[in-house]
Chains A and B, each alone.
Chain A
Amino acid sequence: MNQDHIQKLKKLKLIEPDPVFLKKSRVLILSAKSVNTSAFRWPVLVWTMSSVFAVLIIGFIVSISILPAKPVLSAALDTQSLNNEFTNLNISIQLQEINYDQSVGQTINSAIGEIKNNAVKHLNDAVLKNESAGLNLEESSSQINQLLDNLVSN
Chain B
Amino acid sequence: MKDEEEKIVKKAKKGDDKAFGELYDTYMPRIYRFIFLKVKRKQDAEDLSHQVFLSAWQNIQSYEFRGFPFSSWLYRIAGNAVIDYYRTWKNNASLDNMPEDYFSENPELAKNVDAVMDIQFVKTFLHKLESDQQNVLIMKFVDDLSNKEIAEALGKKEGAVRVIQHRALKQLKKYIDESRPYSKTEEA
Contacts and interface: CB of A to CB of B under 8 A. Distances in A.
A37 interface: yes
Given A25-B53, A29-B50, A36-B13, A12 B142 contact: yes
Nearest to A35: B58
A49 B118 CA distance: 60
Report whether over half of chain A's contact residues are helix, strand or loop; otherwise say mixed: helix
Contact of B109 (A5, A16, A29): A16
A15 B54 contact: no
B3 interface: no
Contacts of A9: 122, 137-138, 141-142, 172
Interface in B7-60: 13-15, 17, 20-21, 24-25, 28-29, 32-33, 36-37, 45-46, 49-50, 53-54, 57-60
A12 B28 contact: no
Given A36-B59, A36-B60, A37-B15, A16 B118 contact: no
Q: Say which size band chain A's interface belongs to.
A: 20 to 34
A32 B54 CA distance: 8
A26 B60 contact: no
B187 to A, nearest CB: 10
A30 B20 contact: yes
Nearest to A36: B61
A29 B46 CA distance: 13
Contacts of A36: 13, 15, 58-62
Nearest to B142: A12
Interface residues on B, range: 35 or more
A82 B58 CA distance: 70
Interface in B145-188: 169, 172-173, 176
Interface in B46-87: 46, 49-50, 53-54, 57-62
Given A13-B142, A35-B58, A28 B17 contact: no
B127 interface: no
Contacts, number: 108
B115 interface: yes
A5 B166 CA distance: 12
Contacts of B61: 34-36, 41
Given A13-B142, A16-B29, A30-B20, 7 more contacts: A8-B176, A9-B141, A11-B118, A12-B33, A17-B49, A18-B106, A36-B58
Q: Which 7 pairs show the lowest CB-CB distances between chains A and B?
A: A36-B61, A37-B15, A9-B141, A17-B32, A25-B50, A30-B17, A12-B142
Interface of A: 1-2, 5-6, 8-18, 21-22, 25-26, 28-30, 32, 34-37, 41
29 contacts: A1-B173, A5-B169, A6-B169, A10-B141, A11-B115, A14-B109, A14-B112, A15-B109, A16-B106, A17-B28, A25-B46, A25-B49, A25-B50, A26-B24, A26-B28, A29-B20, A29-B54, A32-B57, A32-B58, A34-B15, A34-B17, A34-B57, A35-B59, A35-B61, A36-B15, A36-B59, A36-B60, A37-B14, A41-B61
